[in-house]
Structure 1
Amino acid sequence: MAEPFKNFIDRALVERMAARLAAAGPGFDAAAFVHQASAGLEALELKARTLQLCAALEATLPADFAAAADRLDAAMAGDDGLASWALWPVGEFVARRGLATPERALATLRLLTQRFTAEFAIRPFIVEHPALVYTTLSRWAEDPDENVRRLASEGTRPRLPWGQRLTALVADPAPNLPLLRRLQDDPSEFVRRSVANHLNDIAKDHPALVVDWVREHLPGAGAERLALLRHASRTLVKKGDAAMLALWGHGSAFEGDAVLLLAPSRLAVGETLSLSLTLASRASTPQRLVVDYRVHHVKADGRRTAKVFKGWKLELAPGASVTLARRHSMKPVTTRRYFAGAHRVDIQVNGSVVAGAEFELAL
């Protein structure tokens, strides 16, 4: 099992932070920082640990933000400078204390993102100082450091996981589009992946905009841009968006017969459901197919809500048949609570449901 993220913010990290901040210049009370930052730390979850270290920084760094930022910049310098998880509370500190002096704060975030990430810390500045931030990000999109270029995309994602939702950009992502145009062919895969995820965020609220983006940028795309556009299309493809499927050559309805078998017909939470799907073509030409499946989970009030899971991509020859198999786990996950009752699985081919079957889930 992977190490919980919260364990990376421990007393040893607090002591390393104190040592680096003290070495950055006179006047830092390292003992007070360690005492406040580490008090009861082991009992706290990740966010609470971050906020406690941020509070310790507020109590021990200079009240003048520029002076505090100077110390933080110095503490980040060098191969042994502050880096990685130590910088999450630093970013929180900058986001809290730097809003009144955004130019100085953004300069520190540029350094910080090269050693960890400033994608969360920059979001309050986008809300409070959009003109300044977008002017800065336009410059950062040409920065020699890939981490800074990535921040121009990742920090402005409307629905960034774990991050403050940028409701104005959810409603209208237009301010971000010039940045994405400049970055979608970036030499760094790290940057391009962020652009793909950003476009996929936009697709959840403005599907037609992303369909138009792919339509514009797909012709003549090289392998790297092609991979970016595919990743950016994933939500709309899973939803069966007809326009997006057509752009990727999967716009035609399936011509043939589909039979879905589920086994067992009754299972308990924690067990595994087996799917067996047979597709038989009745077409006279090959068919390019995107095959996904939707599980309709029973909710507490008895309603069923669907979640799409990726299945298969294939080309089915004229008159041919194929059997596809998948094992679907019903083990508990943190993002979904299971309830007993009749669940349903639908098969979606090129965006249209072609087969379905039900199974009973017991607790």
Structure 2
Amino acid sequence: MEPFKNLVNATTVANAGLHLQRAWSGFDRPRFEALANHGLDALELKARMLQLADAMRATLPDDFNNACNVLETSLAPPLPMDAKGEPEGLSGSAAESGLAGWVIWSMGEFVARHGQHDVARSLTCLHALTQRSTAEFAIRPFIQQQPEAVWPVLTRWANDPSAHVRRLVSEGSRPRLPWGLRLQALVADPTPTLPLLRALQDDPSSYVRRSVANHLNDIAKDHPDLVARWVKDHLIETIPERNALLRHASRSLIKQGHAPTLAAWGLASGLKGHAGLSLSAPSASVGESIGLRVTLRSTARQAQPLEIDYAVHHVRANGSSSPKVFKGWKLTLAAGEQRTLDKRHSLKPVTTRTLYPGLHRIELRVNGAALAEASFDLKP
């Protein structure tokens, strides 16, 4: 898979120069492109975005309102949404009609850096930018530095006709947005965002609802009981979209075996019966996979809802180990039923985790309780 950084390249710069010049005849396109392209290939993704933002600062009008006018005029039409409310062509760019896609991140960065003195104008510009990609990173400095000016706008945007804008309300205010500025005030107290999430959790767009789920999952990292109460208070089985949203929001807490969350989902009871775990081989090499076989036998007189996960205790560089929980199965075990479940676990290296040789323990968790384990030797 091609690295994301390569999607921000000389073609991206040329396209930006073309449409910024179209929007403002006084735009110094050669200077912009020279500044934006300088050493670009050696930079990582975020550094490329920041360099384009610096080039915009050097070549857009000094007056911030006029600069925003140029940015807005250079844009393509808003990205269309499919039948499920998902954006079409989110990562692309509309070279003929105007700017969209990755370059929007740089445009938002320009607004975030130079628009703190005029929050209203900045937010109007971000409202336009987010409909061509996302302004989730750009809005966060405004939330951090001037929340009293931003919250009323986000409250209004929760009812905006554009799903892109409604998603920004949730995604832009996530306490721990990946790649984004951490909003420490909301990490400590997420209360200001709760009315927004309540207004958006039944949004017709799956794009918006998924953001709400991820926002609640963020909150769960610091306030697990709050999210457990949210699930208990808002779960309505007859609304499948909300059910799915709350399930996704609960995923980390269910993996952790958080008792109030398990209770909210009717998973508080442990397995009535027996569970076993066996592996397909005593050893495996990095880059291969290993098979897991789970055996379940119910001794109950009624059906049992079960959430079955497994934790791999990965060996670390210093010889210690740390568990990583993986999703397994969600099922209902009938009274007296015996069932066998099989799964392959990949041992291919990933960017977020280095695999070290050594004895790895796998722990089977049923409704949050560790019921069985097995081990294998990971070889280089």
Task: Measure, in 2, the Cα distance between the counterparts of 1:184 and 1:116.
Answer: 21
Q: Please give the residue correspondences for 1:135-150 in structure 2 after superposition, counting only pairs within 5 Å.
A: 135-150=152-167
Greater alpha carbon shift after TM alignment, 215-224 vs 34-43: 215-224
After superposition, the C-alpha distances for 1:275-327 in whole angstroms (9 at most, x for unaligned) are: 11111112222221111000011112222111110001122222221111111
Q: Please give the residue correspondences for 1:184-199 in structure 2 after superposition, counting only pairs within 5 Å.
A: 184-199=201-216
The amino acid across from 1:83 in the alignment is A
After superposition, the C-alpha distances for 1:139-176 in whole angstroms (9 at most, x for unaligned) are: 11111111111111110001111111111111110010
Task: Measure, in 2, the Cα distance between the counterparts of 1:264 and 1:189.
Answer: 41
Q: TM-score, normalised by structure 1?
A: 0.96
Task: Measure, in 1, the Cα distance between the counterparts of 2:303 and 2:203.
Answer: 36
Give 1:303's aligned residue.
320
Greater alpha carbon shift after TM alignment, 212-221 vs 18-27: 212-221
After superposition, the C-alpha distances for 1:40-78 in whole angstroms (9 at most, x for unaligned) are: 222222112111111111111122212211111111255
The amino acid across from 2:154 in the alignment is L
Give 1:96's aligned residue.
113
Greater alpha carbon shift after TM alignment, 88-97 vs 262-271: 262-271
Task: Measure, in 2, the Cα distance between the counterparts of 1:184 and 1:77.
Answer: 29
Task: Measure, in 2, the Cα distance between the counterparts of 1:118 and 1:77.
Answer: 15
Which residue of 169, 188, 193 corresponds with 2:186? 169
**Matched position secondary structure for 2:210:** helix
Which residue of 315, 318, 334 corresponds with 2:332? 315
Deviation at 1:195, TM superposition (A): 0.8
Deviation at 1:210, TM superposition (A): 0.6
Q: Please give the residue correspondences for 1:212-291 in structure 2 after superposition, counting only pairs within 5 Å.
A: 212-219=229-236, 221-291=238-308
After superposition, the C-alpha distances for 1:303-356 in whole angstroms (9 at most, x for unaligned) are: 211111000112222222111111101111110012222110000001101100
Percent identity of the aligned residues? 56
Deviation at 1:104, TM superposition (A): 1.0
Give 1:18's aligned residue.
17
1:120 aligns with 2:137: yes
Give 1:66's aligned residue.
65
**Matched position secondary structure for 2:126:** helix
Task: Measure, in 2, the Cα distance between the counterparts of 1:178 and 1:230.
Answer: 19
Task: Measure, in 2, the Cα distance between the counterparts of 1:116 and 1:184.
Answer: 21
**Matched position secondary structure for 2:180:** coil
The amino acid across from 1:212 in the alignment is R
Give 2:81's aligned residue.
none
1:344 aligns with 2:361: yes
**Matched position secondary structure for 2:73:** helix
The amino acid across from 1:38 in the alignment is N
**Matched position secondary structure for 1:83:** coil
Give 2:87's aligned residue.
none
User: Which residues of structure 1 form unaligned runs of 5+?
Assistant: none
The amino acid across from 1:18 in the alignment is G
Moved over 3 A (4+): none
User: Which residues of structure 2 form unaligned runs of 5+?
Assistant: 78-93
